[in-house]
Amino acid sequence: MASATIATMHNQAQLATQSSRVRHGMRSTISPSLPRLHARVARSSTRHRTVLRVCAADDAKSLDELRKTTGFGRGKALSTQTEGKLSGKSVEIMQAAWADGGGFSGAWKAYMQKARDDFLAFRDQAGRGEIVDPMMWCLAIAAEDDANSTHSVVELPVATYEKRLTSLVTEFINNYLPDDKEDPLKVAKAVEQYLFETKKFTAATKQKVIDNEMYSPYRVYIHNVLPQVCGAPTVLAAIYISFLLRLQAAGHLTGDLRVVLPVLGGVEGLPFSQLPEEEVPEGFVEASPEYIVAESLTTLKMGYWPWEWIPGHEYGFLTTAQAAIGMDGRFGRGVAGTFVPPKGRPYGDVKRALSACERLVLLRADAFQLRDYGVLLYHVGRVPEAYEALKGFREAYDPTAPTIPIAGFESGPRATEQETELLDQLIKQIEVQIAEQSLELS
DSSP string, 282-335: TTEEE--HHHHHHHHHHHHHHHH-SSPPPTT-S--HHHHHHHHTTTTTTTT--B
Secondary structure (DSSP) of 350-392: HHHHHHHHHHHHHHS--HHHHHHHHHHHHHTT-HHHHHHHHHH
Whether residue 24 contacts residue 40, with contact meaning beta carbons closer than 8 Å, is answered with no
3 state DSSP class of 58: coil
262 DSSP β-pair partners: 284
Closest to 374 measured CA to CA, from 429, 440, 308, 303: 429
pTM above 0.85, yes or no: no
pLDDT value at residue 396: 85
Of 7-16, 65-74, 191-200, 329-338, least confident by mean pLDDT is: 65-74
Q: How far is CA 383 from CA 97, 321, 332, 368, 378, in A?
A: 11, 14, 17, 18, 5
pLDDT value at residue 8: 39
Whether residue 38 contacts residue 280, with contact meaning beta carbons closer than 8 Å, is answered with yes
Condensed to tens digits (0 to 9), the pLDDT of residues 355-375 reads 999 999 999 768 899 999 999
Condensed to tens digits (0 to 9), the pLDDT of residues 421-436 reads 999 999 999 999 988 8
Q: Kindly state the percentage of the chain with pLDDT values over 90.
A: 46
Closest to 136 measured CA to CA, from 146, 151, 123: 123
pLDDT value at residue 98: 40
Q: How far apart are the first and last CA of the chain?
A: 64
pLDDT value at residue 190: 97
- Rounded CA separation 137/133 (Å): 6
pLDDT value at residue 267: 74
Instruction: Supply the angle between the helices 158-175 and 134-150 in degrees, to the nearest 10.
Output: 150
Among left, alpha and beta (phi > 0; psi -120 to 50; other), residue 54 is: beta
Condensed to tens digits (0 to 9), the pLDDT of residues 19-58 reads 444 344 444 332 222 222 222 222 222 322 222 222 223 3
Q: Which of 33-47, 178-192, 200-214 has the highest mean pLDDT?
A: 178-192
Secondary-structure breakdown of the chain: helix, strand, coil percentages, each rounded to the nearest 5: 50, 5, 45
Instruction: Name the residue type at position 118.
Output: D
Of 91-95, 346-350, 382-386, least confident by mean pLDDT is: 91-95
pLDDT value at residue 182: 85
Q: Kindly state the percentage of the chain with pLDDT values over 70.
A: 65
Query: How many Cβ atoms are within 10 Å of 95's Cβ, its own excluded?
Result: 18
pLDDT at 379 over 70: yes
Side-chain-side CA neighbours of 392 within 13 Å: the count stands at 28
- Rounded CA separation 76/357 (Å): 19
Mean pLDDT of 274-281: 92
Q: How far is CA 107 from CA 70, 112, 114, 157, 261, in A?
A: 30, 9, 11, 14, 37
Beta-sheet strands, E only, within 228-268: 230-231, 258-262
- Rounded CA separation 231/216 (Å): 9
Is pLDDT larger for residue 440 or for residue 350?
A: 350
- Rounded CA separation 406/423 (Å): 23
pLDDT at 170 over 70: yes
- Rounded CA separation 427/74 (Å): 24
- Rounded CA separation 186/203 (Å): 22
Instruction: Name the residue type at position 115.
Output: A
Secondary structure (DSSP) of 96-158: TTS---TT--SHHHHHHHHHHHHHHHHHHHHHTT----HHHHHHHHHHHHHHHHH--SS---H
